[in-house]
Chain A
Amino acid sequence: MPLITYRKALNDALAEELLRDENVVLLGEEVAEYNGAYKVTEGLWARFGSKRVVDTPISEAGFVGMAVGASMLGIRPVVELMFWSFSYVTFDQIINNAGCVRYMSGGQIACPIVIRGPANGGTNVGATHSHTPENFLANTPGLKVVCPATAYDAKGLMKAAIRDNDPVMFMENTLLYGEQWEVPEEEYLIPIGVADVKREGTDISLIAHGRAVLTCLKAAEILQAQHGISAEVVDLRSIRPLDEETLLASVRKTHRAVLVEENKPFCGVDAQIASLIQEKAFDELDAPIQRISALDAPAIYSPPLEKLQLPTPDRVVQKALSIC
Chain B
Amino acid sequence: MMEAESRSFADAEINRCLTPEEKIQFLRQMFRIRRFEQTSLKAYNAGKMGGFLHLYTGQESVAVATISLLGENDHVITAYRDHGHALVCGMEMGECMAEFFGKATGSSKGKGGSMHLFAPDKRYWGGHGIVAGQTPLGLGIAYALKYKGIRGCCLCYLGDGAVNQGVFHESLNLASLMSLPVIYIIENNGYSMGTSLARSSAFKQMLAQRAEGYNIPWDHANGENIYEMRVKTQAAIERAHEESRPTVLEIATYRYYGHSVADANARKYRTPEEIEHYKTYHDPLRLWQKRLVDEGILTEEQADAIDHEARAEAEVASRFADESPFPTEADIFTDVYSEVDQPVGDGPHGTYFFN
Contact = CB atoms under 8 A, between A and B. Distances in A.
B177 A57 contact: yes
B349 to A, nearest CB: 3
B78 interface: no
Interface string B325-346: 0000000001111110110111
A61 B167 contact: yes
A23 to B, nearest CB: 8
B40 interface: no
Interface in A79-101: 92-93, 96-97, 101
A59 to B, nearest CB: 4
A75 B335 CA distance: 20
Interface string B99-120: 0000000111111110010111
Interface in B75-114: 77, 106-113
Size band of the interface chain A makes with B: 35 or more
Given A59-B170, A70-B141, A107 B334 contact: yes
A109 B191 CA distance: 31
Nearest to A141: B336
B118 A105 contact: yes
A64 B334 contact: no
Interface stretch (B18-26, B143-151, B284-292, B307-315): B143-151
Contacts of B113: 104
Contact of B108 (A59, A106, A144, A243): A106
B348 A63 contact: no
B324 interface: no
Interface stretch (B125-133, B204-212, B240-248, B251-259): B125-133
Contact of B140 (A61, A72, A102, A105): A72
A104 B147 contact: no
A73 B144 contact: yes
A193 B350 CA distance: 5
Contacts of A61: 136, 166-167, 170
Contacts of B351: 193, 241-244
A90 to B, nearest CB: 8
Nearest to A96: B130
Contacts of B349: 191-194, 241, 243
A240 interface: yes
B136 A102 contact: no
B29 interface: no
Contacts of B145: 73
Contacts of B116: 104-105
Interface string B10-48: 000000000000000000000000000000000000000
A164 B138 CA distance: 23
B213 to A, nearest CB: 14
Interface in A41-82: 51, 56-57, 59, 61-75
A203 interface: no
B197 interface: no
B203 interface: no
Contact of B147 (A51, A102, A192, A194): A51
A244 B350 CA distance: 7
A268 to B, nearest CB: 15
A65 B111 CA distance: 22
Nearest to A69: B140
Contacts of A69: 77, 125, 136-141, 143-144
B171 interface: yes
B336 A142 contact: yes
B173 A62 contact: yes
Given A65-B167, A104-B118, A59 B174 contact: yes
A316 interface: no
Given A62-B171, A142-B337, A144-B339, 8 more contacts: A61-B167, A65-B135, A66-B140, A72-B141, A93-B136, A96-B130, A106-B106, A241-B348
List 3 tightest A-B contacts by C-beta distance, closest first: A69-B140, A65-B136, A193-B350
Interface of A: 25, 51, 56-57, 59, 61-75, 92-93, 96-97, 101-110, 141-142, 144, 163-166, 191-195, 238, 240-244, 272, 276
11 contacts: A61-B167, A62-B171, A65-B133, A69-B140, A72-B141, A105-B112, A106-B108, A109-B125, A192-B339, A238-B350, A241-B348
